[in-house]
Amino acid sequence: MTARTLSILCFGAHPDDCDFRFGGAAMLYRALGHRVTFVSMTNGDTGHYDMGGGPLARRRYAEAMASARIADIDYRVLDIHNGELVPTPELRKVVIQIMREVQADLVLCHRDHDYHPDHRAVGTVVQDAAYTVTVPNVAPLTPHLRQAPVLGYFYDAFRQPVPFVPHIAIDTDPVMERKIDMGCCHESQVFEWLPYNGGVLDKVPAEPAARRAWFAETHRRRFAAIAEHSREALIALYGPEHGRAVRSAESVMISEYGRPLPRERYREMFPFLPEVAATTQA
């Protein structure tokens, strides 16, 4: 296991994206004393059926800060309109500056093929920054990184043009209740907008405890599905007995566009993985 403090940097398109895709792992890193930064590249100001603009952006910022307190992480929200994210050179410089500021060892983001244009934009701009973060004359007022960070992608189920490959699978069972609490912080999304958009708003309970139970039931199924998709990787990294028993998981696909991370070095970037991760062959 690495003896130094790691800096883990996650870029999501919207407030709550990083929480659902890597909130459990974030808490595992923090339990070991490593630094975790979530960045929402937009302010989320269109993500609702009944409110928007400044009031919604401020509400979603407050929700992100509440989630950050549960996970004990740094959470940043960029003031860019939801739905208008474009991977311009100017935005790339913003990403580079954040990577340099936090001295990122591991950077995670969406893949650049996805149903949502903001997600695709994040994947493109972060990939484009993953090498140029080392070039001194790009954004020259910010000291450059001497080596590129490891770059990885959050889990997704899209298959075109290529399916997601779970190189890293993470057992989130020990922190699942706290991850559910993180999700519940995003009330405007999980109890309002997403149920409305999915045609189930009338199914959302009004009472707080019942709401949490409703949310927990649906999202345990979501993360159980990720565990099943990642079962082979869970068994390889945790061993057969543990790997088969995992009920909820997060997973990461390692990108070719960042610093290489061979299997024997997985635990350097994911130090909560057990010793078997370094000894079991792929």
Segment 37-81, tens digit of pLDDT: 999 999 999 999 999 999 999 999 999 999 999 999 999 999 999
For the segment 209-248, what is each residue's pLDDT rounded down to a tens digit? 999 999 999 999 999 999 999 999 999 999 999 999 999 9
Stretch 119-135: mean pLDDT:
97
Tokens found for residue 276:
């078997």
pLDDT at 276: 73
How high does pLDDT run on average in the chain?
96
Tokens found for residue 170:
């993470």
Q: How many residues does the chain have?
A: 282
Query: Residue 243 belongs to what H/E stretch?
Result: helix 240-245
Domain 7-279 in CATH 3.40.50.10320? The answer is: yes
pLDDT at 1: 46
pLDDT surpasses 80 at 158: yes
Which string of DSSP letters, residue by residue, matches 170-235?
Answer: EE-GGGHHHHHHHHHH-HIIIIIIHHHHTT-GGGS-SSHHHHHHHHHHHHHHHHHHHHHHTHHHHH
Q: What is the percent of the chain where pLDDT is above 90?
A: 96
The amino acid that residue 125 corresponds to is: V
Each domain of the chain, given as residue ranges in start order, spans 7-279
pLDDT at 3: 73
For the segment 84-95, what is each residue's pLDDT rounded down to a tens digit? 999 999 999 999
Tokens found for residue 237:
């990294």
pLDDT at 279: 55
- CA 273/CA 17 separation, integer angstroms: 23
Q: Yes or no: say if 61 and 35 are a contact pair by the CB < 8 Å rule.
A: no
Instruction: List the beta bridge partners of residue 250.
Output: 170
pLDDT at 99: 98
Whether the pTM exceeds 0.85: the reply is yes
Stretch 147-171: mean pLDDT:
97
State the CB neighbour count (10 A cutoff) for residue 79.
9
Contacts of 44 (CB under 8 A, 6+ apart): 14, 15, 16, 56, 57, 60, 77, 82
- CA 61/CA 65 separation, integer angstroms: 6
